[in-house]
Structure 1
Amino acid sequence: MSEAEEAVIRAHHDEWARVVAALTRRFGDLDIAEEAAAEAFATAVERWRADGVPPSPGAWLTTTANRKAIDRIRRESRRDDKHREARMTYDDLPEPVGAIDDDRLRLIFTCCHPALAVEARVALTLRMVGGLTVPEIARAFLVRATTMEQRITRAKAKIKAARIPYRMPSADDLPARVSGVLAVLFLVYNEGYLASGPGTDPVRHDLTTEAIRLTRLIRALLPQDGEVAGLLALMLLTEARRTARVSANGELVPLDEQDRGA
């Protein structure tokens, strides 16, 4: 594997959610955000191999994805009005008082909106925030990839049709919304704890790290919420044993064989 390909893989783990969230905030459309982000990563494979890896991969990917999205909107002239409306709706509205200024957290609350079925919330979050492929998500749900693709497509269509806003819920609505988000974050952490996708590494550190990071943000938002504190404590306790769970060869180590002093 070339240096450029390795850099793209690392960037996908580190930057996928950030790029998708930034595009969602600007254009207010999950389809545009996802497709433009995917095109940007595909372009990176070619450009970085020829030109070298840029100093700031995340900024390069976000800029490229924005250009891809704008090009698509210009090609589809019938969407011009929707684009202008989205810019007015998503770029100019102030955040509710007390909300944390984090695009990825906004994206999670959008994907976990109560208007969606629980299964759709988890699948959409794993795709849009976690960056998992549809086959990976399908394996986690024990369904066919085509079924999962339809489920995610319907979820995005419902967000668009119901005009679900890309923003943090208000302070009054937040407690009722947070339980659903915590359930999704726990499932995201579980996917990272024992990855269902193919590969030599059974643990996806990017997912466990992101689940913990976002749970920390929710903890900062609701410092008195015992459910949030409990989930964060469980994740951190489990994460503390991460190095003991995997051998030097990348194989899972049974609990009774793990080094308790590690």
Structure 2
Amino acid sequence: MQFTANLSLLFTELPLLQRFKAAKNSGFSAVEIQFPYEETPETLQAELVNNGLKLILFNVAAGDFLQGGEGLAAVPEKAQAFKQALAQTVEYINILKPEAVNVLPGCCHDSDRIDTYLSIFKSNLSLAVTTFAPLGVKTVFEAINTYDMPGFIIHSGKQMLEIMDELGQPDLFMQYDIYHMQRMGENVAGFIRLNGNKIGHIQFADCPGRGQPGTGDIDFIEVFSAISESGYSGWVGAEYRPVSSTLESLDWLDHSNNCQ
């Protein structure tokens, strides 16, 4: 397996632009960022080049999502804002050359509108695929647990599979987040073993707490073995909140026989 450092959650002891060097010095050869838009793509690319790193993944902008809002991708009234976010993403893709871009489904805070939100999301997800595929970039989307994010419209591996089957687009994949699906009670290792070829990116944190491996209940020996056995050939993103400092949280990386 190949591991990436998620610079939105790791090395937050440092400003964003200093986290690239910290990740390289800690043994990572690639990184991911949730939302890179506080910096220009040229600035980010310079840090990647200077530190010999590859940027694997980032998200399409999601509006008010991190502030407790519904986001952009499923809200009928935000169609234009989502298209603008896609255009911004293309600007970053053209310079940063990621392997995948994640489209966050977002939340629906009015249960009477959930069917409409799901329909809008699938339409916008399809639009993202047709926008990014010609650039050589996979489109991924993820399920998030409804304990941390009440109202999140996609919250299981089963839902993601159903959407992929419905849309039938070869450049569309799941982003499978081990923490979120464990939080929802899913058999994470079993799901990955069965569906590795349909997953475009994997992220992990321990559960509960979303700390580094060893701080919760997940058997990461089993989970990492499942990833290796599944045929999944992509990157595996460390997207956890270190319980202490980031450097002190990296024992799992130092002792992983799978780490490059």
| Superposition TM-score, scaled by structure 1 size | 0.31
Greater fraction strand: 2
Greater fraction helix: 1
Determine which structure has more spread, i.e. the larger CA radius of gyration. Answer: 1
